[in-house]
């Protein structure tokens, strides 16, 4: 049985911090890696040791398999945790880690490969009795071969890349006349995105919900499901808000989906934490969509309603220990919601934004969890994912969780870079969202209206922003005593305005 005393965390930002914290609770030392622009990042200081791995572009640092394995060996690690993104679902990385005699804190490379090939996954899961979306279980060679299959399924159909996922290489075909052009487009997009142009067909499901089941598997043959997450609130295949449980899932449906999910994990010899994504139709049928063979961004909502630390369970499984999850944990308790606070400007088509975090007031109090990766002084660049932090709340009921999220979103102050914060607040206030009346088309349908109604940050809470800027100016003055004092000088117009505003209340 491998003992993990020290592991390499092959990631950055909030998830590196999250994993380092779990390591420390498990009595494991964590080695961080950092690119040139991350030298001062919070995850570097949180780790027991940190090693530079090269320039900012991920291809030269966080994606460099040889370098990462080398660092793990040089620093005496017994294992590597990939986090999510970067190398998390690259089978060659899992292979390289294992070949170096290290433990990969993730599933076997064979499971990553099986699920990475969408048609192979469909064949395996169909054989295991898991409902898959009606469609082909092999790639179709050309539009001529696709035509009879599409007719059999009935239009509309979707062309999807076998190497796909995340919506790339996907084309909707409304009628036979569009099939040839769509096939050519899907193939070329898939070729460009994945270096593999193979595509297959699925019946197009209208307005489904995206509901996924978290699973954990250990090397003693135990596979457990930790219920579902509702992930329908997405924009261009990026999730913005997730919650657990889903309002669309009854206890009976949860049992059936959980059975399908554990069967799916079993069918590929899965180990550790993974997620089975399903599409759930308005009439209550569910179909396997794909499996994420990694820890997911939204894992905290499951942690809060199931009282399980998924990252610690991953570490236990990797060390050859049995899952610690007990039967009582398989029942959800209360409700959890997550908002992904990203450096994207909702008022500029969610364009990724850059800047330096000048001021940060992190929400807190009962039922509030902040999984963040930045602090004042942190630079947000375009080199990496725009996720700044995840704000997660728990409440005894969904209504309480919603109230708490609104409160926490109002408490959050982040100055220096545009974020998605106010858009999240507007969604929390939306009647349809409050009713749980959401599907994968929700944001596309109501997003623009919500945006118009959202309060631009500069028009909300002037005192809050003034206070933030004042605090920032004080710190700047303290850091640079030689510079002209910023606050102690003649009363600034900001300060005067703030006092006046404060006195009026
Ligand atoms: C679908 C679908 C409807 N029918 N497949 C989008 C990304 C990729 N993971 C699969 N996706 C979809 N596949 C069938 N047969 C609708 C989507 C889809 C979607 C799925 C989950 C969450 C958000 C989505 C947004 C648009 C389309």
Digit-coded pLDDT (tens) for 409-451: 999 999 999 999 999 999 999 999 999 999 999 999 999 999 9
Ligand 1 proximity of 106 Cβ (cutoff 6 Å): no
What's the pLDDT score for residue 392?
99
State the pLDDT confidence band at 472, using cuts at 50, 70 and 90.
Answer: low
Q: Evaluate whether 300 touches 306 at the Cβ level (below 8 Å).
A: no
Pocket test for ligand 1, best of 121, 281, 289 (most atoms within 8 A of CB): 289
- 135 secondary structure, DSSP code: B
Is the confidence at residue 486, as pLDDT, over 60? no
Mean pLDDT, residues 41-67 taken together: 98
What's the pLDDT score for residue 478?
74
Ligand 1 proximity of 440 Cβ (cutoff 6 Å): yes
Rounded to the nearest angstrom, the distance between the alpha carbon of 181 and the centre of ligand 1 is 20
- From the CA of 287, give the closest atom in ligand 1: 15
What's the pLDDT score for residue 499?
53
Ligand 1 proximity of 158 Cβ (cutoff 6 Å): yes
What's the pLDDT score for residue 482?
47
Q: Whose CA is nearest to atom 18 of ligand 1?
A: 440
pLDDT digits (tens, 9 = 90+) for 166-212: 788 899 999 999 999 999 999 999 999 999 999 999 999 999 999 99
Is the confidence at residue 481, as pLDDT, over 60? no
Ligand 1 proximity of 160 Cβ (cutoff 6 Å): no
Is the confidence at residue 469, as pLDDT, over 90? no
CA dihedral 8, 11, 14, 16 (to 10 degrees): 0
Rounded to the nearest angstrom, the distance between the alpha carbon of 314 and the centre of ligand 1 is 28
What's the pLDDT score for residue 473?
75
Q: Whose CA is nearest to atom 15 of ligand 1?
A: 204
User: Higher pLDDT residue, 481 or 138?
Assistant: 138
Ligand 1 proximity of 242 Cβ (cutoff 6 Å): no
Q: Evaluate whether 88 touches 274 at the Cβ level (below 8 Å).
A: no
Ligand 1 proximity of 202 Cβ (cutoff 6 Å): yes
User: Higher pLDDT residue, 108 or 489?
Assistant: 108
Q: Which residues pair with 360 in a beta bridge?
A: 414
Q: Which residue has the tokens 């449906």?
A: 253
- 58 secondary structure, DSSP code: G
Rounded to the nearest angstrom, the distance between the alpha carbon of 286 and the centre of ligand 1 is 13
Which of 294, 316, 340, 404 is labelled catalytic?
294
- From the CA of 205, give the closest atom in ligand 1: 4
What's the pLDDT score for residue 497?
60
Rounded to the nearest angstrom, the distance between the alpha carbon of 41 and the centre of ligand 1 is 35
Pocket test for ligand 1, best of 241, 279, 288 (most atoms within 8 A of CB): 279
Q: Which residues pair with 370 in a beta bridge?
A: 391
- From the CA of 133, give the closest atom in ligand 1: 15
Is the confidence at residue 479, as pLDDT, over 70? no
- From the CA of 203, give the closest atom in ligand 1: 15
Q: Is 500 a catalytic residue?
A: no
Ligand 1 proximity of 278 Cβ (cutoff 6 Å): no
Rounded to the nearest angstrom, the distance between the alpha carbon of 83 and the centre of ligand 1 is 24
Q: Whose CA is nearest to atom 23 of ligand 1?
A: 440
Rounded to the nearest angstrom, the distance between the alpha carbon of 116 and the centre of ligand 1 is 16
Rounded to the nearest angstrom, the distance between the alpha carbon of 157 and the centre of ligand 1 is 12
Is the confidence at residue 485, as pLDDT, over 80? no
What does 442-472 look like in DSSP terms, one character per residue? HHHHHHHHHHHHSPPGGGS-HHHHHHHHHHH
Q: Coil, helix or strand for 361? A: strand
State the pLDDT confidence band at 70, using cuts at 50, 70 and 90.
Answer: very high
Distance linking the first and last C-alpha atoms of the chain? 65
Mean pLDDT of the chain: 93
Rounded to the nearest angstrom, the distance between the alpha carbon of 501 and the centre of ligand 1 is 49
Range with the lowest mean pLDDT among 35-39, 166-170, 223-227? 166-170
Q: Whose CA is nearest to atom 10 of ligand 1?
A: 167
Please tell me the distance from the alpha carbon of residue 462 to that of residue 480, in angstroms, as a whole number: 27
- Write out the two tokens for 182: 């769509």
Mean pLDDT, residues 211-225 taken together: 97
Is the confidence at residue 460, as pLDDT, over 60? no
Mean pLDDT, residues 143-152 taken together: 96
Ligand 1 proximity of 208 Cβ (cutoff 6 Å): yes
Ligand 1 proximity of 257 Cβ (cutoff 6 Å): no
Ligand 1 proximity of 153 Cβ (cutoff 6 Å): no
- From the CA of 231, give the closest atom in ligand 1: 22
Sign for the pseudo-dihedral over CA of 266, 267, 271, 274: negative
State the pLDDT confidence band at 500, using cuts at 50, 70 and 90.
Answer: low
- From the CA of 202, give the closest atom in ligand 1: 15
Rounded to the nearest angstrom, the distance between the alpha carbon of 167 and the centre of ligand 1 is 7
Is the confidence at residue 495, as pLDDT, over 60? no
Ligand 1 proximity of 234 Cβ (cutoff 6 Å): yes
Q: Which residue has the tokens 């159909």?
A: 157
- H helix intervals, 199-306: 251-267, 299-306
What does 351-413 look like in DSSP terms, one character per residue? EE--EE--EEE---STTEEEEE---TTPEE-SSS--EEEEEEEEESSHHHHHHHHHHHHHH-E
pTM of the model as a whole: 0.92
């Amino acid at each position: 049985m491998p003992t993990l005393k020290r592991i390499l965390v092959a990631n950055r930002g909030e998830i590196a911090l999250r994993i380092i914290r779990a390591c420390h609770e498990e009595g494991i030392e964590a080695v961080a890696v950092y690119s040139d622009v991350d030298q001062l990042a919070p995850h570097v200081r949180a780790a027991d040791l940190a090693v530079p791995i090269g320039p900012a572009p991920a291809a030269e640092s966080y994606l460099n398999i040889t370098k990462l394995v080398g660092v793990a060996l040089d620093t005496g690690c017994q294992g590597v945790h990939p986090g999510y993104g970067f190398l998390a679902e690259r089978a060659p990385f899992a292979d390289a880690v294992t070949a170096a005699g290290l433990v990969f804190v993730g599933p076997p490379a064979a499971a990553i490969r099986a699920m990475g090939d969408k048609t192979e996954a469909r064949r395996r899961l169909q054989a295991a009795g898991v409902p898959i979306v009606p469609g082909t279980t092999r790639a179709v060679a050309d539009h001529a071969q696709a035509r009879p299959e599409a007719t059999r399924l009935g239009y509309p159909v979707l062309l999807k890349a076998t190497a796909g996922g995340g919506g790339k290489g996907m084309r909707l075909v409304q009628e036979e006349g569009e099939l040839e052009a769509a096939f050519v487009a899907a193939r070329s997009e898939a070729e460009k995105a994945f270096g593999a142009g193979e595509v297959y067909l699925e019946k197009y499901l209208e307005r489904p919900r995206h509901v996924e089941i978290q699973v954990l598997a250990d090397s003693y043959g135990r596979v457990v499901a930790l219920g579902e997450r509702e992930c329908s609130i997405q924009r261009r295949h990026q999730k913005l808000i997730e919650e657990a449980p889903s309002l669309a899932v009854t206890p009976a449906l949860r049992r059936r989906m959980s059975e399908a999910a554990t069967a799916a994990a079993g069918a590929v010899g899965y180990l550790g934490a993974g997620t089975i994504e399903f599409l759930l139709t308005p009439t209550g049928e569910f179909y396997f969509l794909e499996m994420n063979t990694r820890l997911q961004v939204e894992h905290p909502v499951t942690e809060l309603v199931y009282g399980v630390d998924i990252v610690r369970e991953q570490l236990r499984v990797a060390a050859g220990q049995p899952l610690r999850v007990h039967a009582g944990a398989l029942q959800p308790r209360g409700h959890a919601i997550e908002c992904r606070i990203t450096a994207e400007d909702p008022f500029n088509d969610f364009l990724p934004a850059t800047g330096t975090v000048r001021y940060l007031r992190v929400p807190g109090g009962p039922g509030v969890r902040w999984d963040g990766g930045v602090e004042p002084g942190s630079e947000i660049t375009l080199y990496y994912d725009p996720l700044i932090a995840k704000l997660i709340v728990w409440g005894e009921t969904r209504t309480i969780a919603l109230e708490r999220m609104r409160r926490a979103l109002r408490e959050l102050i982040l100055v220096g870079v545009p974020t998605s914060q106010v858009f999240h607040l507007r969604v929390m206030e939306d009647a349809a969202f409050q009713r749980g009346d959401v599907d994968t088309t929700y944001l596309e349908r109501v997003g623009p209206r919500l945006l118009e109604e959202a309060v631009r940050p500069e028009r909300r809470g002037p005192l809050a922003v003034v206070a933030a800027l004042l605090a920032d100016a004080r710190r700047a003055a303290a850091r640079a005593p030689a510079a002209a004092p910023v606050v102690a000088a003649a009363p600034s117009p900001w300060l005067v305005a703030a006092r006046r505003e404060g006195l009026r209340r």
